[in-house]
Amino acid sequence: MRPSIRELIEYYNPNLSLAQAFTPLASWYTDPRIAQLELRTVFSRSWQMVGYIDQVLSPGQYLTSDLAGEPILVIRGRDSVLRGVFNVCRHHAAAVVTEREGKAENLRCPYHGWTYDLEGKLILTPEFAGVTNFDRSANGLVPVQIAEWQGWVFVKLDGGGPNLKEFLGGDLIERFERLPSINSGPEPAEGNLERLFWFERRSYFLNCNWKVFVDNYLDGGYHVPHIHGGLASVLDYSQYTIETGEHFCLQSSPIASGKTESQTAAVRKGERANYFWLYPNLMINIYDEVMDTNLVIPRGVDKTEVIFDYYFADTSDQAREKNLASIAVSEQIQSEDVAICESVQRGLNSRAYNSGRLSVRREAGEHLFHRLLHADLIAGLSDQEATV
């Protein structure tokens, strides 16, 4: 008989130490029931990064996103307040805004022309005279929680719960502020990343569960010498450190500058590579004056989109070639990770694999990830059973 979803989740024992721990069952990565539950729990209860503040600086500027299947619109009002709303028309549910980003005077639904102002209030309903018991003021776009941190915009689907800072945790916020490579700038303004500017976005599609990508990221550099020859040549792998906090993991490696003259070495300079992971699905990778974020989005139980946003200190035309060379190195690393993640997904589907063990030296980040996931899934399951 097929095990129940509760059995699959409870099979994982979060109380084991890293030395004793097993990975979650392979079915966490292949069973659509788990994928559904994750959307309602992990992705609905966490603060999710949807964009960066430069996209929405002035009144009317907006960005759209898709969060756990929910269309989201982030827009700066005429009153300069940044708001998040569901991008779902109150008439017959069409997306009101269809572009990924832009600037608007007001928000006109493309379906029947209902129009909302920049604050989400419904201001125009063509050919709607005579409709009884209809209160226009009660039919604005539905708000969603929104907050900013370090120049990124975050949204949370479920109401209540921790605010963004509580969710990120004081330990992460403090750790981020201590980054020497970021604080050494001439004028670190409100955000420590103030000196870096967005340059380009690239999306990658993988045939694997989103957690395979996260696990791969969190293996403490275990795979680096085996999979990433180019990267291994510039990182001092033996000095790799792994720090886990409440909701985050920081993997860090000294950069062995001058070790080689490779293409990788030319664009990965500085003292340390810092790889932050924020539960559940955001990575922030910082090398001196280069940064990229990776947002890992489930697109089905065995499909994942990873959105890379690249940031550089200098985004002028003169720096363009150098920045593109840096992205090319990142793409090479990414293609190596895609291949291994897809191989893992095939293995997770095999009858020969159920679960595995973790390296004490390397895999503390994965252990944290699995325990946080387990807690969210158990809580979501209990809520679901309580409402049936």
* Residues in contact with Fe ion by the rule CB under 5 A: 337
In terms of CB distance, is 61 or 264 closer to Fe ion? 264
Residue nearest to Fe ion (CB): 337
* Residue 205 binding: pick among Fe ion, ligand FES, none (C-beta 5-8 Å cut-off by kind): none
In terms of CB distance, is 58 or 137 closer to ligand FES? 137
Strand partners, 65: 72
Please name the helix (run of DSSP H) or strand (run of DSSP E) that holds residue 147, with its range, or none. strand 143-149
Amino acid, res. 333: I
Please name the helix (run of DSSP H) or strand (run of DSSP E) that holds residue 287, with its range, or none. strand 282-287
Shortest distance (Å) from residue 83 CB to ligand FES:
19
Amino acid, res. 174: E
8-state DSSP, 378:
H
Shortest distance (Å) from residue 274 CB to Fe ion:
15
In terms of CB distance, is 337 or 366 closer to Fe ion? 337
Q: Where on the phi/psi map is residue 40: left (φ > 0), alpha (ψ -120 to 50), or beta?
A: alpha
Residue ranges in the chain assigned as alpha helix (H) = 5-10, 32-40, 42-45, 164-168, 170-177, 180-183, 210-217, 224-227, 229-232, 263-267, 320-348, 364-387
Angle at 210 between CA 65 and CA 306, to 5 degrees: 50
Burial 2-15 (b: 16+ CB within 10 A, else e): eeebeebbebbeee
Amino acid, res. 247: H
In terms of CB distance, is 182 or 218 closer to Fe ion? 218
Distances (CA, A) of 112 to 85, 107, 258, 325, 382: 20, 12, 62, 46, 41
In terms of CB distance, is 62 or 279 closer to ligand FES? 62
* Residue 155 binding: pick among Fe ion, ligand FES, none (C-beta 5-8 Å cut-off by kind): none
In terms of CB distance, is 6 or 112 closer to ligand FES? 112
Shortest distance (Å) from residue 120 CB to Fe ion:
41
* Residue 94 binding: pick among ligand FES, Fe ion, none (C-beta 5-8 Å cut-off by kind): ligand FES
- Residue 366's CB is within 10 A of a number of other CB atoms, namely 27
* DSSP code string of 15-70: TS-TTT-BPPPGGGGT-HHHHHHHHHTHHHHS-EEEEEGGGG-STTEEEEEEETTE
In terms of CB distance, is 47 or 116 closer to ligand FES? 116
Shortest distance (Å) from residue 145 CB to ligand FES:
24
Shortest distance (Å) from residue 122 CB to ligand FES:
10
Q: What does the alpha-carbon distance between residue 202 and residue 296 come to, in Å, rounded to a whole number?
A: 12
* Residue 109 binding: pick among ligand FES, Fe ion, none (C-beta 5-8 Å cut-off by kind): ligand FES
In terms of CB distance, is 67 or 109 closer to ligand FES? 109
* Residue 337 binding: pick among Fe ion, ligand FES, none (C-beta 5-8 Å cut-off by kind): Fe ion
* Residue 121 binding: pick among ligand FES, Fe ion, none (C-beta 5-8 Å cut-off by kind): none
Q: Which of 203, 186, 205, 202 is nearest to 194 (CA)?
A: 186
Shortest distance (Å) from residue 126 CB to ligand FES:
8
Burial 130-163 (b: 16+ CB within 10 A, else e): eeeeeeeeebbbeebbbbebbbbbbbbbeeeeee
Residues that bind ligand FES (CB under 6 A): 89, 91-92, 94, 109, 111-114
* Residue 114 binding: pick among ligand FES, Fe ion, none (C-beta 5-8 Å cut-off by kind): ligand FES
In terms of CB distance, is 128 or 205 closer to ligand FES? 128
* Residue 134 binding: pick among Fe ion, ligand FES, none (C-beta 5-8 Å cut-off by kind): none
Shortest distance (Å) from residue 112 CB to ligand FES:
3
Question: Exposed (0-12), middle (13-18) or buried (19+): which is 19, by Cβ within 10 Å?
Answer: exposed
Shortest distance (Å) from residue 221 CB to Fe ion:
9
In terms of CB distance, is 96 or 182 closer to ligand FES? 96
Shortest distance (Å) from residue 146 CB to ligand FES:
22
Shortest distance (Å) from residue 249 CB to ligand FES:
43
Per the document, the length of the chain is 388
* Residue 91 binding: pick among ligand FES, Fe ion, none (C-beta 5-8 Å cut-off by kind): ligand FES
* Residue 111 binding: pick among ligand FES, Fe ion, none (C-beta 5-8 Å cut-off by kind): ligand FES
